[in-house]
Amino acid sequence: MTWPLRSFLLFVVLLAGCSSARKGGASAAPTREDELREVATMLTLLGGTGKGYSKPADLAPFEAGCPLGYQAVRTGAVVVVPGAKRPGEGDQGGTDAVVAYEKSAPTDGGLVLLHNGKVKSMTAADFAAARK
């Protein structure tokens, strides 16, 4: 990635304020929903570079602006579907395809990030039936 593009993307992330989007202000503890929203932002920015997601390191350039989301993906607490398109883009066949999810979602249910950018709770059965 060229320096001007990288600088621009970092500026956009910081301007968007990934972490500051939490409900309840800065004193509220971050939630898994906050992490998934940051993942949505990172996937959108990654898609803007012309690349798709394949591994956590793909999101490293956005760590400074979206630290919650990056750490959740890096540690495995949140799983991003390989090849997932950025929210709202691509050929994933609709707006309810899962692009990222809590590690426990396949077995115990949990929060998921949908292709349309929404965060939703799913049971394990709902998750198994959902498009990815």
* pLDDT higher at 88 or 124: 124
Spatial separation of the C-alpha atoms in residues 82 and 73, rounded to whole Å: 12
pLDDT value, residue 88 = 62
DSSP H/E element including 7:
helix 3-16
Question: If 0-12 CB within 10 Å is exposed, 13-18 middle and 19+ buried, where does residue 117 land?
Answer: middle
Q: What is the pLDDT of residues 5-53, one digit of tens each?
A: 444 444 444 445 565 444 445 568 889 999 999 999 999 888 877 777 8
* Chain position carrying tokens 């621009």: 8
Residue 74 pLDDT exceeds 80 = yes
Average pLDDT over the chain, rounded to whole? 81
Rounded distance, CA 73 to CA 126, Å?
22
Domain count, the chain: 1
Residue 15: give the domain boundaries: 3-129
> How far separated are the first and last CA of the chain, in Å rounded?
28
